[in-house]
Amino acid sequence: MGKQATEMLKGILEGIVLAILSDRPAYGYEITARLREQGFADIAEGTIYALLLRIEQRSLVDVEKVPSEKGPPRKVYSLNAQGRDVLAEFWRTWSFLAERLEQLREGGR
């Protein structure tokens, strides 16, 4: 993905992470790994941690420290009610955008 993608991810990456957490709780390193598997190869670790800190400060997630077999303790994030609201709002906005863009793409040929 090119540099365009960097800008396009803004705001969307947060939605993606919230969606991942809505499936089940997860910790930063795990989320980074899952994103890489799903094709987001070049998303920096630091980006995810910064994002997680932000949504923690906005109280969209609950946090639990869990000891790890390997390495430092994990911060496991789980989506709370407020987080679910934000996620729902995200999907609404996304749907709106996706519809408009689909129309534009059709019209463009």
Partner DNA sequence: TCCACTACTCGGCGTTACTATGTACCAGTA
Partner DNA sequence: TACTGGTACATAGTAACGCCGAGTAGTGGA
> Count of residues binding DNA (CB under 7 A)?
33
> Which is closer to a copy of itself, CB of 82 or CB of 93?
93
At its nearest, how many Å lie between DNA and the CB of residue 41?
10
Long-range (24+ apart) CB contacts under 8 A made by 48-53 are 48/17, 51/13, 51/14, 51/17, 52/17, 52/28, 52/77
For residue 53 the two structure tokens come to 């800190």
Residue 86 binds DNA (CB under 7 A)? no
At its nearest, how many Å lie between a copy of itself and the CB of residue 67?
28
Q: How many Cβ atoms from other residues are within 10 Å of residue 35's Cβ?
A: 19
Contacting residues for 70 by C-beta, under 8 A, at least 6 apart: none
3-state secondary structure of 70: coil
Q: Which residues bind a copy of itself (CB under 8 A)?
A: 1-2, 4-12, 14-16, 19-20, 22-23, 38-40, 86, 89-91, 93-94, 96-98, 100-101, 103-105, 107-108
Which residues are at the interface with DNA (CB under 7 A)?
Answer: 6-7, 9-14, 27-30, 42-47, 49-54, 68-76
